[in-house]
Structure 1
Amino acid sequence: MAAKTLGPTSTFGSRGVQSLAQTDRRSRTFWTPTNELSPGQIDEQNCETYISGSNVPTPNPAIGANSELSNVLRERFFTLLPGENIVRQLGVQIYRGPFTGGIFTELPPKAHLQSLFEVSYDDINCLWPLFNPSILISLLDEHYASDAASAVNSFARWGLLNTATAIAIQSRAAEGSYSEMIDLSWHFFKNSFSVFPAIVSRGSDLLALEALLAMALFMQGSSDLRTTSLLISEAARLSLTLGFHKKSYYLGMDPVIAERQKRAFWIAYILDRDMSIKTGMPSVYKDDDISLEYTNSDSLGCPGDIISSETWLEATVFRLRTELAVIESDIQNRLYSEKSSKRTASQLLQAVVELDYRLEDWKEKVPLNIQPGRIIWSAVTARKEPIILLHYVYYCAMSAVHSFAAHLMPVDDVSLLSQSISSRIIHTNMAQESVRLLQHLPPQAPGYLWQILFYPLSACIALVAILLKYPTDVRARSHLRHIGDFVKFLNKVQQHNVLDVERMLHLCTEFEKLVVDATTMETNVLQSAEFPTTGCSNTCLNANAQRLISQQAFYGHHMHLAQGLMGNMPALQALAANVFFDLLPEQKANSSTGVLAPALLNPETYQFAFTQGFNKH
């Protein structure tokens, strides 16, 4: 006989335990005895049913239905039931959903936001064509036309509007007010992030995907790489859940709507692949499952209906980024995945050759006026940021291929040795180009500048590694000059108070000292007839240089080391700390930020943090 349980809908009267006992028999309408029993027997069996499995002793039926012990036991059982107030509280807690939207600050007046949206997204749309002012304004109309409760309960709309507001505030910040505007923007981003669980678990449309992508783009301007990665991976997963990766999904769809959805998918794809090659983390996507074609290289490639040469250029750059991301995927899978470690050196060398060919073929498709190696920067009239970022991604991909080949072991095979030497030259060329690009970079807001600094820092680490290993390289002076140029750039940023890069400047200054000492010592050795000319022995170098040379990770994927210094991925932080621990400034990395990251870009500066323990709601 099943025992009756107190379900979430159980309610109790206001007349105490006695009334509970009186109403208990009447509430048991679902139980039907197989044989007709007397009232006393029913009371006794009910009592036995309730206390079955409890610590209250079960009465012996032989004692009799109306025994005093049966009554005592029944009364003792009912005294164990929770009081009316406790039950009411439990009922409220049971029916409360686990996720609720938070309001850290109210949205500004509609007219103010409308004006802000109309003028704020040109800079970010030229990089990531996501924000359409007319669509955002229509979402504003819906938001302000609804009541307060339903306004927040539309999770995707609430998330997108608040992140769009946060990004707009930062994009319109004057040079001297970055700190105040970044602080303000975080209030709105926290509004968005409060509905992140709801969007991830219940998001079912394009708006939900755009909200996640907007959050990811905002977080890219912080030092919190983990949260950025989380947002990107969830956006990628949602794009697959919605079916945006399938060509058949768009059959019969309005072309403008279809293009908007394709844009959202490819933004998620690019961000995911970019994160994968920079950090070594597996991608969400599998290219074999994707049948979607690229976006059009026309005005539909960017939000809005204005057709101009600049809009066409930005759409072309976005498509080129998409094609390059597909090659990045192949680089990660064929050279840096766990599966690649099982391939032979000859197989890996063949992969290097094929990937290099694909990158060169991609480069030839880039219009001559913006092509890496051929562009005349003084003749560029459009925004330079998307072109610079495109070049950085290309150099990054080439470096990933050829840094791998440069250290491919064993090198006793003639073909491997030849490819290793060739790849080392290409790798240094890419590193130098990455530093040289900084001279064409227009003044930037702190968040975007921090994203860009990843590339020259990675290049600087690569040049230091090459100089310490080959201090007599014929291009040693050129390598030294480029490292010095990056140090000068960081000095300029620090002096102009654009961004606190003091810790990065300290590290790169130490790098410069190490390589200057190494090349100077080697020159002295070569000028002395008493020593062989085969290279500088470890005794010529100081302890820091010797230790770096002995670190295998120092000659691995330099992008991973750069991310370990700038971001907060635990595995990469540990890798970078192990390689550079005696060169780093005295500040430990933590879970929210990297060891080189400035406080301005640390989310915890703006109380975007998780407290220890649990808060009672």
Structure 2
Amino acid sequence: MISDDDIEIDLPETRGTDVPWFRLRAQLAKIEAQISRRLYTAKSLKLDGGQIFQTILDCEVLLDGWKSSLPGTLDDDIVDGISDADSLQGDKLDVFLVFNNCLLLTHWALRHSSQDGPIALRVERTQSHLDPILHVDVPRSRHCLLRSRSAAQAVIRIYCTYREPPFTFLWRNLAYPLCAVLVLITDILDEPATAQAIKLLQATRSFSRFLQRFEREERCSLNQVLRSCATLQRTAQLAVQEAHEGSVVESPLVITPGTPRSTPREDAETLHSILRSATNPMYLAQGLLGNQPNRDQALYTKLAELLGCPAHENPTGIPLGSEVLWPPSYGLSLAPDAR
């Protein structure tokens, strides 16, 4: 296997004022590979808390260095997840999504560590009567949680900015916002009693509204994805409601006939356990949207069953597979003896 350090990107020089999106994406792909290798291999998952956090900082430096090479105001736009809807398409959209997903996965890695410690942050204040620079100590875990959360929100904003996307784009990139939704649901279940939990829930709903509008306008079924997102959101909402009011509410998860009915707290605890046990949320998203096994196969299989969409019930073998992808929809079907 060739080491990332042995790979050199030697692309033709760009001319004119056009942003070299292909070059930027190629550079970002190399950073993606380093994040995966340094934070999510079997060896890296055994690192202690201090080593993991140092690796996270190293990956942040790589991403910041790449971001600083962006022309104009793109270095701010890409972090905020805000851009003109007409221009945020094609290669630019792909780069925006991948960069924020890299940030998300970089900071998620600290969840695998039980060790914590302080990190000094430099905060700028604009009030003239105060010291313009404030240094504060925050727990590493809090710092990483907020960074991954911010990146997840940016991914959803970016994805939902694309006007009238073709189905091929929507499905090919669906793992990014679904991964982001899983991160936000995890954060809600971590701290359901906070005011921030309600805002995060609203962010996940903006993604569902985008898919509903697409389904309505394009007459293309995304029933499994929408149903699963609705179940995740209802579970999180009921956890928030119980945390705020202490009221008993009915379970939103699909109940298999003949099995004991679970309580909302049990539903939330089961979902929370799956999400927090994940190597990274992208593995769960890819498992729900594909049929290729990965490190978290047991977890995404359990999650699919919890959401009422096990792979064996879908003709494609994909838990959240759209009807557009079903064999009968494009003239193919399995012979009776092959099923």
TM-score by length of 2: 0.79
Cα 1:576–1:503 change in 2 (3 A) is same
Does 1:373 pair with 2:79?
yes
Partner of 1:359: 63
Aligned amino acid, residue 336 of structure 1: Y
| Local SS of the residue matching 1:443 | coil
**How far apart in 2 are the matches of 1:495 and 1:361?**
41
**How far apart in 1 are the matches of 2:328 and 2:193?**
46
Mean alpha-carbon deviation: is it higher for 368-377 or for 381-390? Answer: 368-377
| Local SS of the residue matching 1:596 | coil
Does 1:350 pair with 2:54?
yes
Does 1:288 pair with 2:5?
yes
Partner of 1:458: 179
**How far apart in 1 are the matches of 2:333 and 2:246?**
54
- Give every structure 1 segment of 4 or more consecutive aligned residues whose post-TM-superposition deviation is greater than 6 Å: 607-613
- 1:521·1:540 contact (CA, 8 Å) conserved in 2? no
Aligned amino acid, residue 327 of structure 1: I
- 2:108·2:145 contact (CA, 8 Å) conserved in 1? yes
Cα 1:404–1:374 change in 2 (3 A) is closer
- 1:345·1:409 contact (CA, 8 Å) conserved in 2? yes
**Match for residue 427 of structure 1 among 135, 148, 163:** 148
Question: Which deviations, in whole Å up to 9, do the C-alpha atoms of 1:197-247 show, x marking residues without a partner?
Answer: xxxxxxxxxxxxxxxxxxxxxxxxxxxxxxxxxxxxxxxxxxxxxxxxxxx
- For structure 1, which runs of at least 5 residues remain unmatched after alignment? 1-283, 299-307, 527-538
Partner of 1:579: 303
Does 1:600 pair with 2:324?
yes
Paired residues in the alignment total 304
**How far apart in 2 are the matches of 1:606 and 1:576?**
27
TM-score by length of 1: 0.45
Cα 1:504–1:292 change in 2 (3 A) is closer
Question: Which deviations, in whole Å up to 9, do the C-alpha atoms of 1:187-206 show, x marking residues without a partner?
Answer: xxxxxxxxxxxxxxxxxxxx
1:505 Cα offset (Å): 0.3
1:338 Cα offset (Å): 1.7
**Match for residue 312 of structure 2 among 583, 588, 610:** 588
Does 1:392 pair with 2:97?
yes
**Match for residue 408 of structure 1 among 112, 117, 121:** 112
| Local SS of the residue matching 1:551 | helix
**How far apart in 1 are the matches of 2:234 and 2:88?**
36
Matches within 5 A, 1:54-133: none
**How far apart in 2 are the matches of 1:408 and 1:295?**
41
Question: Which deviations, in whole Å up to 9, do the C-alpha atoms of 1:468-492 show, x marking residues without a partner?
Answer: 1111234212101101111211221
Cα 1:342–1:546 change in 2 (3 A) is closer
**How far apart in 1 are the matches of 2:9 and 2:154?**
33
| Local SS of the residue matching 1:426 | helix
Mean alpha-carbon deviation: is it higher for 587-596 or for 339-348? Answer: 587-596
| Local SS of the residue matching 1:581 | helix
Cα 1:576–1:489 change in 2 (3 A) is same
Question: Which deviations, in whole Å up to 9, do the C-alpha atoms of 1:349-408 show, x marking residues without a partner?
Answer: 110111112112211211234331368633x76562322211100011001100112x13
1:603 Cα offset (Å): 6.0
1:328 Cα offset (Å): 0.9
1:543 Cα offset (Å): 2.6
Matches within 5 A, 1:283-362: 285-298=2-15, 309=17, 312-313=18-19, 316-362=20-66
Aligned amino acid, residue 346 of structure 1: G
Structure with more strand by fraction: 2
- 1:548·1:579 contact (CA, 8 Å) conserved in 2? yes
Cα 1:288–1:433 change in 2 (3 A) is closer
Aligned amino acid, residue 29 of structure 2: A
Does 1:473 pair with 2:194?
yes
- 1:568·1:589 contact (CA, 8 Å) conserved in 2? no
Partner of 1:566: 289
1:611 Cα offset (Å): 8.0
Cα 1:498–1:445 change in 2 (3 A) is farther
- For structure 2, which runs of at least 5 residues remain unmatched after alignment? 120-136, 248-261
Partner of 1:520: 241
Question: Which deviations, in whole Å up to 9, do the C-alpha atoms of 1:57-92 show, x marking residues without a partner?
Answer: xxxxxxxxxxxxxxxxxxxxxxxxxxxxxxxxxxxx
1:454 Cα offset (Å): 1.6
When the two chains are superposed, the root-mean-square deviation of aligned CA atoms in Å is: 3.2
Aligned amino acid, residue 150 of structure 2: N
- 1:384·1:441 contact (CA, 8 Å) conserved in 2? yes
Higher RCO structure (Cα 8 Å, ≥6 apart): 2
Partner of 1:510: 231
1:412 Cα offset (Å): 4.9
- 1:435·1:486 contact (CA, 8 Å) conserved in 2? yes
| Local SS of the residue matching 1:393 | helix
Cα 1:590–1:508 change in 2 (3 A) is closer
1:523 Cα offset (Å): 1.1
Aligned amino acid, residue 324 of structure 1: L
Partner of 1:245: none
**How far apart in 1 are the matches of 2:275 and 2:181?**
17
Matches within 5 A, 1:168-179: none
**How far apart in 1 are the matches of 2:106 and 2:302?**
24
Cα 1:604–1:574 change in 2 (3 A) is farther
1:317 Cα offset (Å): 1.0
**How far apart in 1 are the matches of 2:315 and 2:44?**
30
